[in-house]
Amino acid sequence: MTPSEVCLCAPFVREMSGSEHYNHSTFADLVITGLAGIVPRPDDVLEISPLFPETWDYFCLDGVGYHGHLVTIVWDRTGARYGERGFRVWVDGENRYTSEGVERVRLDIARVSDPGGGGKLYEE
């Protein structure tokens, strides 16, 4: 089998990669930590260093879990898409940061060890 045959053989590649969903999680990670700019940190700071340009009309990353909180990042250049113009960071439904332009943000947030789910990720 030549290298080109290996690359074109989807079942073989899937079997060797360990998961057919590996690309999905890699793509999501690139969007969350790259494009939206959430910087993973071990302390109680939410750091966001977004890479998307201000020339985009809008961008939203909604409901990302981070240290037991739900984080939403919104950019609306004109206010036409989400109703409010500017760059906003929401933590647990509370607007914690607003600015006119896309910029780096650092917010102090207390880590939540159990965000009300009793340690469960789903209802039984």
Give pLDDT tens digits for 68-112.
999 999 999 999 999 999 999 999 999 999 999 999 999 999 887
Domain assignment of residue 33, yes or no? yes
Total of domains in the chain = 1
Domain assignment of residue 116, yes or no? no
Range of the domain at 21: 3-108
CA pair distance 111, 27, nearest whole angstrom: 26
What number is the average pLDDT over the span 12-29?
61
pTM of the shown model = 0.72
CA pair distance 54, 66, nearest whole angstrom: 24
What number is the average pLDDT over the span 57-63?
95
